[in-house]
Structure 1
């Protein structure tokens, strides 16, 4: 039943197929066709100039003779893993804070005044200022210890998205708490923990999945912006950030990483639209809630709430 419903949403299927094609191409090329040229020597770096795309090098080569087709596809999983870590951290922390915020919304509503400010400050600027201050505080530690640098970079990229996302989760939770079936559960004697686990969480999970796919797109975009500003994030964004000055001289060095990054963002956008369409269809089938945990048609007067 679920597979049939998914097949009806072409956007979701197209997005998944595009993402699988991208990841599959990267895996096959990296494990079976990639040429291992070893570490580029300083002499090669200065003597071998970038070559434009050709039959031998479809994506061209970078300074030092590195094939951009192999190099770009080889960074697919690195890019995806970093984005997943940042997105997962944001979603997990925001889920906990958002649920608490939604449950105590009447008391914490005054926090909206401060959180709204994050909607007007670009996350790129906020992340850049935090990373720049970290580098100013201890340049040798930040730049000399890769583990410390990547840990702090990851937490900063996670942190800049938490306030707005927690507020969104909180408001969704608050709206769910005002629904009639929640009030009915309370009247029938449902305890707070039972209501939260059996009714609130299932009602929010669909929107949470939609938020996660949207956050993935936002994180990939933020990674590219931060890399261009000088804080190179592993993966495609490092190619873009460290070679953006080549746009006027050897544009293919930047073009193909941007192309693959755009392809991934397009696939995630299609998946997001498919999930939204799926949830909207669920709303038409289930009158009680757009994100109800049940399946199939539910008639409000046919069954009571069981505990």
Structure 2
């Protein structure tokens, strides 16, 4: 993996630094959430006369119609969102990259079959496919991560396969094959390192998209069930009160989704700019 110092110097360093700062902030919030949140996410507060109540000094994000403190729910909801997104991204990478490596390197019938399967999955809108899978599996963090993994495996597969096909035609790879080097050694010691920069870009961009898709799943109650704290779930309940003037119920969870997705997207875009500059 690229050293931190090299990541923060050169083309795209501004995007990468800003993205890393945002993601690191949310990781710290997730780890320290039980100590940061002043109230239980599913306990009614009694220090305000009526609910929902707008933001105040005691409740900076206000309270919802039941009386739950929204600041505590947004803070603790960070843990669920990051669990789903990071788990799905890692699983998608762990499945998609090896399949793309095998498909691109060997070609033939294996390549054709895998390409047809992945293209079929890729043709479905991500949110529709994720909702369908999560509906069958039922609401849980692991099931939501599996649903998102299926959505993003084709992206890892396609990018890895395309890069492997490009790398395997280079002279030093051809020479290794002629000399009889084992396929496993060529793939993992010589081809895979050349693929990883592309994988890192896909990881950043896929994670950003996964945050939005996870919010869509939780909006329909397909990640956790209320009153568990989750940003998309809180927006789902808060939107019912939005027209009556309770704007804070959707604003703060929405801002959390936006900024975290932006952080991952900036990392992905910064890395893409870095690798494009090196290729010139």
Answer whether TM exceeds 0.5 for this pair.
yes
Structure 1 equivalent of residue 127 of structure 2 = 124
Change (3 A) 1:56 1:119: same
Determine if the alignment matches structure 1 residue 263 to structure 2 residue 259: yes
The alignment status of 1:165 with 2:156, answered yes or no, reads yes
Structure 1: how far apart are the matches of 2:28 and 2:145?
26
For residue 190 of structure 2, what is the aligned residue in structure 1?
Answer: 199
Aligned residue pairs, count: 268
Deviating more after overlay: 62-71 vs 232-241: 232-241
Tell me how far apart the structure 2 counterparts of residues 38 and 182 of structure 1 sit (CA, whole Å).
Answer: 56
CA distance in structure 1 between the partners assigned to 2:223 and 2:243 by the alignment: 21
User: Residue deviations 1:228-253, cap 9 Å, x none?
Assistant: 23324463223223433233232211
The answer to whether 1:94 aligns with 2:89 is: no
**Which of 34, 38, 54 is the aligned partner of 2:56?**
54
The reply to whether residue 210 of structure 1 matches residue 210 of structure 2 is no
TM-score (norm 2): 0.82
Aligned twin of 1:298: none
Q: Residue 113 of structure 1: CA displacement? A: 4.2
Q: Name the residue aligned to 1:12.
A: 16
Question: What residue is the counterpart of 1:248 in the other structure?
Answer: 243
Cα distance, 1:266 vs structure 2: 0.9
Aligned to 1:104: 106
Instruction: Indicate conservation of the 8 Å contact 2:101/2:160, yes or no.
Output: yes
Q: Where does the alignment leave 5 or more consecutive residues of structure 2 unmatched?
A: none
Q: Find the aligned partners of 1:267 and 1:27 in 2 and give their Cα distance.
A: 18
Cα deviation code 1:80-131 (max 9, x no counterpart):
1221111111110112222221123233443334533333321211222233
**Distance in structure 2 (CA, Å) of the matches to 1:83 and 1:35:** 25
Under a length normalisation based on structure 1, what TM-score does the superposition of the two structures give?
0.76
Task: Give the root-mean-square deviation of aligned CA atoms.
Answer: 2.9
Tell me the secondary structure at the aligned position of residue 249 of structure 2: helix
Distance 1:58 1:181, change over 3 A: same
Deviation at 1:279, TM superposition (A): 1.9
Cα distance between partner residues in 2 of 1:150 and 1:269: 23
Cα contact 2:134–2:147 (8 A) shared by 1: yes
Displacement of 1:153 in angstroms is 3.3
